[in-house]
Chains A and B, each alone.
Chain A
């Protein structure tokens, strides 16, 4: 992940013809967004997005994505440090496996979670004995989101850690700081921008999560029906206007999140 700002600083420059494919790519990404905005019936828009099911879905999405982001940080930071600061046999295999959810179809992730934590899953019986039921709960939504978003945080942070190097850690250690102090006072502040962008990426990925959630957690208003699932249901039940309206809200939230993150990152 880029630690320095990616502004063109008047270096050797780049071939000017790159503008063309760049513009085509930009148009390819932006046109569908424009098409969606054009489809909105602005007269109905306020009613559509304040419909109880839309609001409920938005709140659930924000709540679960925030919880998942926290989980990703708690689990992902140690994972990234272990991956960046150690060398062991088979490390590249371990890294590939950890990053696997990035490339897995989300539905497959959902099935894998089901086979692990579901009633008949690997841990299903143990959880049952403990009186824990995961399926069809909001906790299942958070688990699904964390599963698919965790690699985003790990990969961002590991890159930042490797770029930052160990020099400052070593200096701090030779000055007598204990490992935990070095981690808290030197390592973490150094990679904070990387951690932040990783966390934002993870949050955004959680907001958009659909396949793993619907496979593992189901779809019930206020409990497991997050925004993408509500949008899909709107669309599947011939309420495309509601689907588009709620989609726009999701896009705006995503843009806000990314914008805020950029803002605070340049402040760091």
Chain B
């Protein structure tokens, strides 16, 4: 009876250790294969970190890029630009970074190699379908009783909204300051808010779920999107190729179709 009792903890230890280590090992090996792949075999994985507002366009661009490059697999990670910057700075394996504003690209400093502007974006008002509160221009957002949702000033779309307020002299008293454009859209599509301040491209992407109200003052605050290969990338050549592809006429067409302006 004594022997199995002694064995049991060992077996359990082995099982526990295995359970803990197997997933780690799996993670490790996938990294190895991707970095080893650049040596000569065909399979290469390019990891692109891009601002959330680029979700649909970069998904399309990545597909085109993969089609044009045999054995290349583009992995996309979308998020708030500042989130992505802190991830890269804490060592996330990004090869390319596309930011929604120059401020966040600047924050990356030397980790970004020669950033290039590839698109611009301006603000637009999004209202629930049919624009029930009858918003006609930016001035209407300052009216009392109009429920306006904006991004928090700490995030790029909120900073742009704040600049717009300064340039137009309109003071918005928002009912909510959300963390991202998608959160703002959520409040608008659900009909809780009368209006939300987002980018033109977000209104285009939201389709029938919102009614867009463009306003002439929007050209006063233009958001520039820079892109750059990340320094120390294992695939620096491929990263540069991807950046070039985004800047090429093919890449630019995808962006223009989504409502982005020229850099």
Give CA–CA (A122, B79) in the complex, Å.
Answer: 33
A5 within 8 A of B: no
Give CA–CA (A17, B16) in the complex, Å.
Answer: 12
A21 within 8 A of B: yes
Give CA–CA (A240, B90) in the complex, Å.
Answer: 12
Contact indicator A237/B152 (Cβ below 8 Å): yes
Contact of A118 among B107, B152, B179, B192 (CB under 8 A): B192
The residue in chain A whose Cβ has the minimal distance to the Cβ of B159 is A237
A238 within 8 A of B: yes
Given A17-B12, A21-B12, A219-B152, the answer on whether A237 and B82 have CB atoms closer than 8 Å is yes
The residue in chain B whose Cβ has the minimal distance to the Cβ of A140 is B192
Contact indicator B178/A218 (Cβ below 8 Å): yes
Contact indicator A238/B149 (Cβ below 8 Å): no
In the complex, what residues of A have CB within 8 A of residue B149's CB? 218
Contact of A233 among B8, B152, B187 (CB under 8 A): B152
Give CA–CA (A119, B193) in the complex, Å.
Answer: 9
Within 8 A of B (CB), among A94-114: 114
Q: How far is the CB of A139 from chain B (nearest CB, A)?
A: 13
Give CA–CA (A15, B178) in the complex, Å.
Answer: 51
Contact of A236 among B175, B176, B180, B192 (CB under 8 A): B180
Give CA–CA (A119, B80) in the complex, Å.
Answer: 29
B83 within 8 A of A: yes
Contact indicator B154/A219 (Cβ below 8 Å): no
Within 8 A of A (CB), among B1-32: 8-9, 12-13, 16, 20
Contact indicator B175/A136 (Cβ below 8 Å): yes
Give CA–CA (A135, B20) in the complex, Å.
Answer: 44
Interface size class, chain A: 20 to 34
Given A118-B191, A218-B175, A221-B177, the answer on whether A20 and B9 have CB atoms closer than 8 Å is yes
Q: Mark B174-202, 1 if CB is under 8 A from A, else 0.
A: 11111110010011001110000000000
Contact of B155 among A16, A17, A236 (CB under 8 A): A236
In the complex, what residues of B have CB within 8 A of residue A220's CB? 174-177
Give CA–CA (A233, B9) in the complex, Å.
Answer: 45
B227 within 8 A of A: no
Give CA–CA (A219, B179) in the complex, Å.
Answer: 8
Give CA–CA (A235, B83) in the complex, Å.
Answer: 7
In the complex, what residues of A have CB within 8 A of residue B192's CB? 114, 118-119, 135-136, 218
Contact indicator B190/A120 (Cβ below 8 Å): yes
Contact of A232 among B86, B176, B179, B190 (CB under 8 A): B179
Give CA–CA (A220, B8) in the complex, Å.
Answer: 55
In the complex, what residues of B have CB within 8 A of residue A85's CB? none
Give CA–CA (A253, B176) in the complex, Å.
Answer: 26
B239 within 8 A of A: no
In the complex, what residues of B have CB within 8 A of residue A233's CB? 152, 154-155, 179
A-B contacts, 26 of them at CB < 8 A, read A15-B8, A114-B190, A118-B192, A119-B192, A136-B147, A136-B176, A218-B192, A219-B152, A219-B177, A220-B175, A220-B177, A224-B176, A232-B179, A233-B154, A233-B155, A233-B179, A235-B83, A236-B80, A236-B82, A236-B83, A236-B155, A236-B180, A238-B82, A238-B83, A238-B86, A239-B154
Residues of B near any A CB (own CB < 8 A): 8-9, 12-13, 16, 20, 80, 82-83, 85-86, 104, 107, 147, 149, 152, 154-155, 174-180, 183, 186-187, 190-192
Residues of A near any B CB (own CB < 8 A): 15-17, 20-21, 24, 114, 118-120, 135-136, 214-215, 217-221, 224-225, 232-240
In addition to A214-B178, A218-B192, 11 A-B residue pairs with Cβ atoms within 8 Å of each other are A20-B9, A20-B13, A136-B192, A214-B183, A217-B176, A219-B152, A219-B176, A233-B179, A236-B82, A236-B179, A238-B82
